[in-house]
């Protein structure tokens, strides 16, 4: 019903971070949009700017980091023009975020119940009365699949397992009924089996509440199982984006191709893993137009001067020499 | 008479328990069983993958083999010699045989020493070569093996990237030419492309030095790429062991099946959550609570490890009844 209605649009965002005394762009001219109910995956290696992108949207950039340019529209309103005070009407209400490490997101000295009530007091003022609040908390814990929610409320974070803590985090961020959930590697610290359960939970929550999801991960499998659209980030640039099926089975950017080829699997047993030499360049050694050029096997002198975007349907790639999009088996 | 060569490592009935946290001041002390009567063998030149979720005793097993931990009971044979009764002095020649590399090289490499000093330490410690001059030459000779060159020697660990630090850690373990390399989650903290570089490196080194490796990881894809055989652990017990091909084609234990399903390698049920730090018991199957096929027998008796064809070993009651 509300499909194709735009919820969030990021336009030409650049984020600069200090590095040995100077500011360098860690996220460079990033643009994308998310519709209501979209699930978008953001893949990239460490240092590619994934988390900075999410923090920029939530208005949670660390103080020493500068957002040098660009606009973030949420529901038609430019978040970058709002004061800190005005931003608070969105952050924690409409836009919420879960992080990788649930142990550091929760206060170890307070019970789960205390911390969840705090969220209710701040962000759900319409729920009045102790009994109603308690009811609401228990319902939300049940929704994320926690047994014996009454007991969970009285527990301290260290008394829960990693998977349970991440469930509590999800219950917490869902309390204000957000419209946009930014999930920054929410399953990375978990075991494979627990990871699958949390992913299923996120998918259920997303469908039930018409949530828009930005899933940040370095794990291709996570994004594949959860997201309709995928963006591949390399050194602060979106190098490839499109429907997940397209991007992860017929990649066109040499980096995406290398990323998929470097994945070890039983099918590749005994074979050398294909990979690009080198690593993501440090901030002071990035070169526009193409940051991948120094590692790219298909680089020519054109790449040092300019870069073109290439589109095929909804699938777009930032490369002068896009690969044919041959099928990759993973 | 020809005697067959003893296995490189043999664990016999190894048990390790830790004190379990008390829930009440007046509780009688309980023990948490970290490794529950584990038996396995490793042959020379073999890569054995050890998988299981966190808390299942993978690392404890590795540390016991490296003699960084003392088991409560059991025997460990290295090339046929029982190494547990040896005191630290007698163990020294064996210590050189077993080297270990870890997940986070940042914590392994001394931050106040240069890479060269770090690499000198094992050589000096084990009295390898006659003097420091020879040792320095030896290090320079071996550096290209792990894809580094002389320019890294005067640097400090913080000046290296995560992948480079892991290369240094690998080299410092291999300099003493160990018989067994224990790799504990060595690629877990690395990005995909760096992970591929380190895995390729391990594979090359393995072929070059006929290295035997105990490779611990929770990532089935990584393990199945590298290992010849895979051993699956759950709550301190061995649940299944087979060659990689056999395990992926024909997983028998329900836990193995669910683990493979979670990694998209097998069609089957995903496991349910509920793994706590409960005190594992000898009186039931460790997987009984979560197993969809569990019966009364599973809840009252610990399944014995059975050996099937091709050295496939599994500990499951259902298998015994031919279900």
**Which tops the pLDDT comparison, A271 or B315?**
B315
Strands A212-217 and A39-43: parallel
Out of A284-298, A316-330, B181-195, least confident range: A316-330
> Which residues on chain A are in Cβ contact (under 8 Å) with B219?
192
Q: A295 and A289 in contact (C-beta within 8 Å)?
A: no
Please give the angle made by the CA atoms of B288, B293 and B295, to the nearest 5 degrees: 65
Cβ contact, residue pair A266, B224, below 8 Å: yes
> Which residues on chain B are in Cβ contact (under 8 Å) with A262?
192-193, 195-196
> A268 to chain B nearest CA, in Å?
7
Cβ contact, residue pair B195, A191, below 8 Å: no
> Which residues on chain B are in Cβ contact (under 8 Å) with A258?
193
Structure tokens at B75: 């025997």
Beta pairing partners, A96:
A181
pLDDT of residue B267: 65
Q: Where are the beta strands (DSSP E) in chain B?
A: 9-19, 31-42, 47-51, 73-78, 81-82, 98-101, 180-184, 212-216, 229-234, 237-243, 306-307, 313-314
% of chain A with per-residue pLDDT over 90:
40
pLDDT of residue A103 exceeding 50:
yes
Closest of A29, A84, A78 to residue A60, by C-alpha? A84
> A307 to chain B nearest CA, in Å?
24
pLDDT of residue A321: 87
pLDDT of residue B275: 46
> B196 to chain A nearest CA, in Å?
6
Closest CA in chain A for residue B257:
A193
- The pLDDT tens digits for A49-74 are 888 899 899 888 888 887 778 899 99
pLDDT of residue A325 exceeding 70:
no
- ipTM of this complex > 0.85? no
pLDDT of residue A304: 85
> Which residues on chain A are in Cβ contact (under 8 Å) with B193?
45, 258-259, 262, 275-276, 279
HSE-CB of B217 using CA atoms within 13 angstroms: 25
Contacts of B37 (CB under 8 A, 6+ apart): B13, B14, B15, B74, B237
Cβ contact, residue pair B192, A279, below 8 Å: no
Out of A16-30, A40-54, A233-247, B264-278, least confident range: B264-278
Cβ contact, residue pair B225, A258, below 8 Å: no
% of chain A with per-residue pLDDT over 70:
97
Out of A171-185, A262-276, B127-141, B299-313, least confident range: A262-276
Cβ contact, residue pair B53, A194, below 8 Å: yes
Q: Compute the distance between CA of residue B168 and CA of residue B174 in angstroms, rounded to an integer.
A: 10
CA A277 to chain centre: 26
Structure tokens at B119: 């690499």
pLDDT of residue B1: 46
> Which residues on chain A are in Cβ contact (under 8 Å) with B218?
191-192
**Residue A329 pLDDT level (bands cut at 50, 70, 90):** low
**Residue A48 pLDDT level (bands cut at 50, 70, 90):** confident
Which of A144, A146, A192 to mutate: most B Cβ within 10 Å?
A192
DSSP state of B282: T
The 3-state secondary structure of B106-137 reads HHHCCCCCCHHHHHHHHHHHCCCCCCHHHHHH
Cβ contact, residue pair A275, B196, below 8 Å: yes
pLDDT of residue B156: 94
Closest CA in chain B for residue A163:
B273
Q: What is the pLDDT along chain B (323 residues), one digit of tens a residue?
A: 455 788 999 999 999 988 877 777 787 777 888 898 999 999 999 999 999 888 788 889 999 999 999 999 999 999 999 999 999 889 988 999 999 998 888 888 999 999 999 999 999 999 999 999 999 999 999 999 898 989 999 999 998 888 899 999 999 999 999 999 999 988 887 888 888 889 999 999 999 888 999 999 988 889 999 999 999 999 889 999 999 999 999 999 988 988 888 877 666 655 554 444 445 567 788 888 788 888 888 888 888 899 988 889 999 988 765 44
Of A163, A192, A274, nearest to B262 by CB-CB distance is A192
Which of A185, A191, A255, A272 to mutate: most B Cβ within 10 Å?
A191
Cβ contact, residue pair A276, B193, below 8 Å: yes
| Gyration radius from chain B CA atoms | 21
Q: A162 and A102 in contact (C-beta within 8 Å)?
A: yes
Cβ contact, residue pair B221, A192, below 8 Å: no
Cβ contact, residue pair A45, B226, below 8 Å: no
pLDDT of residue A1: 43
pLDDT of residue B251: 92
> B111 to chain A nearest CA, in Å?
20
pLDDT of residue A134: 92
Mark out chain A residues that contact chain B at CB-CB < 8 A: 45-46, 161-164, 191-197, 200, 218, 220-221, 258-259, 262-266, 268-269, 272-277, 279-280
* Cα-based distances in Å from B173 to B95, B151, B166, B181, B300: 11, 20, 11, 8, 44
CA B115 to chain centre: 26
- The pLDDT tens digits for B71-129 are 999 999 999 999 999 998 899 889 999 999 988 888 889 999 999 999 999 999 999 99
Mark out chain B residues that contact chain A at CB-CB < 8 A: 53-54, 161, 163, 191-197, 199-200, 203, 218-222, 224-226, 244, 248, 258-259, 262-265, 270-273, 275-276
Cβ contact, residue pair A193, B270, below 8 Å: yes
pLDDT of residue A274 exceeding 90:
no
Closest CA in chain B for residue A259:
B193
Cβ contact, residue pair A263, B221, below 8 Å: yes
Of A194, A220, A275, nearest to B273 by CB-CB distance is A194
Strands A6-19 and A22-35: antiparallel
Closest CA in chain B for residue A225:
B264
> B226 to chain A nearest CA, in Å?
7
> Which residues on chain A are in Cβ contact (under 8 Å) with B265?
266
Of B191, B200, B273, nearest to A197 by CB-CB distance is B273
> B299 to chain A nearest CA, in Å?
22
Cβ contact, residue pair B265, A266, below 8 Å: yes
Closest CA in chain A for residue B264:
A221
Out of A128-142, A143-157, A268-282, B126-140, least confident range: A268-282
Cβ contact, residue pair B222, A262, below 8 Å: no
Cβ contact, residue pair A262, B196, below 8 Å: yes
Q: Compute the distance between CA of residue A30 and CA of residue A234 in angstroms, rounded to an integer.
A: 11
> A275 to chain B nearest CA, in Å?
6
| pLDDT, averaged across chain A | 87
pLDDT of residue B276: 44
Contacts of B300 (CB under 8 A, 6+ apart): B283, B284
pLDDT of residue A252 exceeding 70:
yes
Q: Compute the distance between CA of residue A42 and CA of residue A56 in angstroms, rounded to an integer.
A: 14
| Distance from the first to the final alpha carbon of chain B | 43
pLDDT of residue A3: 57
């Amino acid at each position: 019903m509300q499909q194709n209605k735009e919820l969030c649009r990021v336009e030409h965002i650049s984020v600069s971070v200090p590095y040995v005394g100077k500011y360098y762009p860690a996220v460079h001219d990033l643009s994308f949009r998310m519709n209501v109910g979209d699930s978008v995956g953001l893949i990239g290696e460490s240092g590619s700017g994934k988390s900075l992108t999410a923090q920029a949207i939530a208005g949670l950039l660390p103080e020493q980091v500068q957002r040098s340019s660009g606009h973030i529209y949420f529901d038609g309103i430019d978040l970058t023009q709002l004061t800190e005070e005005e931003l608070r009407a969105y952050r924690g209400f409409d836009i919420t975020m879960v992080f990788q490490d649930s142990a550091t997101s929760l206060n170890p000295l307070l019970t789960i119940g205390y911390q969840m009530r705090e969220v209710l007091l701040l962000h759900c003022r319409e729920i009045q009365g102790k009994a109603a609040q308690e009811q609401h908390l228990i319902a939300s814990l049940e929704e994320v699949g926690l047994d014996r929610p009454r007991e969970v409320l009285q527990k301290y974070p260290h008394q829960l397992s990693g998977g349970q803590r991440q469930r509590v985090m999800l219950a917490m961020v869902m309390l204000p009924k957000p419209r946009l959930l930014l999930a920054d590697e929410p399953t990375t610290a978990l075991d494979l089996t627990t990871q699958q359960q949390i992913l299923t939970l996120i998918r259920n929550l997303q469908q039930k509440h018409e949530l828009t999801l930005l899933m940040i991960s370095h794990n291709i499998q996570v994004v594949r199982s959860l997201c309709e659209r995928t963006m591949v980030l390399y050194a602060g640039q979106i190098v490839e984006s499109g429907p997940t099926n397209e991007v992860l089975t017929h990649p066109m950017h040499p980096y995406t191709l290398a990323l998929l080829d470097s994945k070890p699997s039983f099918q590749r047993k005994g074979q050398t893993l294909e990979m690009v030499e080198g690593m993501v360049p440090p901030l002071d050694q990035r070169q526009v137009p193409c940051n991948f050029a120094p590692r790219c096997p298909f680089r020519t002198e054109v790449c040092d001067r300019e870069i073109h975007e290439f589109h095929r349907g909804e699938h777009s790639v930032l490369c002068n020499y896009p690969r044919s999009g041959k099928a990759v088996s993973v | 008479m020809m005697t067959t060569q003893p296995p490189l490592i043999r664990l016999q009935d190894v048990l390790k328990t830790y004190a379990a946290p008390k829930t009440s001041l007046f509780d009688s002390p309980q023990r948490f069983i970290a490794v529950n009567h584990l038996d396995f063998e490793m042959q020379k030149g073999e890569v054995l993958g050890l998988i299981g979720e966190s808390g299942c005793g993978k690392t404890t097993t590795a540390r016991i083999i490296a003699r960084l931990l003392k088991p409560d009971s059991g025997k460990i044979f290295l090339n046929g010699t029982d190494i547990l009764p040896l005191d630290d002095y007698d163990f020294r020649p064996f210590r050189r045989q077993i080297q270990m590399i870890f997940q986070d090289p940042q914590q392994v490499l001394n931050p106040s020493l240069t890479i060269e000093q770090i690499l000198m330490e094992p050589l000096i410690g084990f009295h390898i070569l006659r003097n420091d001059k020879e040792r320095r030459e030896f290090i320079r000779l071996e550096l290209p093996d792990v894809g580094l060159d002389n320019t890294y020697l005067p640097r400090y660990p913080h000046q290296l990237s995560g992948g480079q630090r892991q290369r240094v850690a690998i080299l410092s373990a291999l300099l003493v030419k160990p018989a067994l390399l224990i790799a504990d989650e060595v690629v877990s903290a690395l990005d995909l492309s760096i992970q591929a570089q380190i895995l390729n490196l391990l594979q090359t080194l393995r072929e070059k030095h006929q290295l035997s490796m105990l490779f611990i990881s929770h990532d089935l894809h990584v393990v199945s790429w590298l290992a010849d055989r895979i051993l699956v652990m759950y709550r301190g017990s061995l649940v299944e062991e087979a060659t990689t091909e056999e395990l992926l084609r024909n997983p028998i234990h329900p836990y193995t099946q669910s683990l493979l399903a979670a990694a998209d390698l097998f069609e089957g049920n995903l496991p349910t959550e509920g793994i706590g730090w409960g005190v594992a018991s000898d009186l039931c199957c460790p997987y009984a609570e979560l197993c969809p096929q569990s019966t009364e027998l599973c809840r009252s008796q610990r399944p014995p490890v059975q050996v099937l064809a091709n050295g496939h070993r599994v500990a499951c009651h259902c298998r015994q009844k031919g279900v």
